[in-house]
Amino acid sequence: MQPIIQSKLPHVGTTIFTVMSVLANEHKAINLGQGFPDYPMNSALTDLVNAAMKKGQNQYVHMNGLPLLRERLAEKINSLYSAAVDPETDITVTPGGTYAIYTALTAVLQPGDEVIVFEPAYDSYIPNIEINGGVPVLIPMTYPKNPGDSYRIDWNKVKDRITPKTRLIMLNTPHNPTGSVLDESDIEQLRSIVKDSGIFILSDEVYEHLIFDGKKHESILRYPDLLERSFVCFSFGKVYHCTGWKMGYCVAPAALMKEFRKVHQFNCFTCNSPIQYALAEFLLQKEQYLELGSFLQQKRDRFGDLMRQTRFRALPSYGSYFQLYSYSGISDENEKDFAIRLTREYGVATIPTSAFYKNGEDNRVLRFCFSKEDRTLEAAAERLIKL
Cβ proximity to ligand PMP: between 34 and 343 the closer is 34
Q: How far is the CB of 345 from ligand PMP (least distance, A)?
A: 27
Q: How far is the CB of 107 from ligand PMP (least distance, A)?
A: 17
Cβ proximity to ligand PMP: between 203 and 310 the closer is 203
Q: How far is the CB of 206 from ligand PMP (least distance, A)?
A: 4
Residues in touch with ligand PMP (CB under 6 A): 35, 96-98, 122, 172, 176, 204, 206, 235, 237, 243, 246, 248
Q: How far, in Å, are 26, 100, 306, 336, 371 from residue 246 at the CA level?
A: 26, 11, 32, 28, 18
Q: How far is the CB of 146 from ligand PMP (least distance, A)?
A: 26
Under 8 Å CB-to-CB from 303, ≥6 apart: which residues? 323, 368, 370, 377, 381
β-pairing, 365-369 with 351-352?
Answer: antiparallel
Rounded Cα distance, 170 and 180, in Å: 15
- Contact at 8 Å (CB) between 62 and 264? no
β-pairing, 313-314 with 248-251?
Answer: unpaired
The answer to whether the bond into 177 is cis (omega within 30° of 0) is: yes
Cβ proximity to ligand PMP: between 158 and 202 the closer is 202
Q: Which one, of 193, 221, 176, lies nearest residue 324 by Cα?
A: 176
Cβ proximity to ligand PMP: between 178 and 310 the closer is 178
Q: How far is the CB of 122 from ligand PMP (least distance, A)?
A: 4
Q: How far is the CB of 3 from ligand PMP (least distance, A)?
A: 31
For residue 180, the 8-state DSSP code is -
Cβ proximity to ligand PMP: between 64 and 243 the closer is 243
User: What's the burial of 248, exposed, middle or buried (CB within 10 Å: 0-12/13-18/19+)?
Assistant: buried
β-pairing, 322-326 with 365-369?
Answer: antiparallel
Q: Where are the extended beta strands (E) located within 88-194?
A: 91-94, 114-119, 135-140, 166-172
Q: How far is the CB of 97 from ligand PMP (least distance, A)?
A: 3
Cβ proximity to ligand PMP: between 249 and 306 the closer is 249
Cβ proximity to ligand PMP: between 243 and 272 the closer is 243
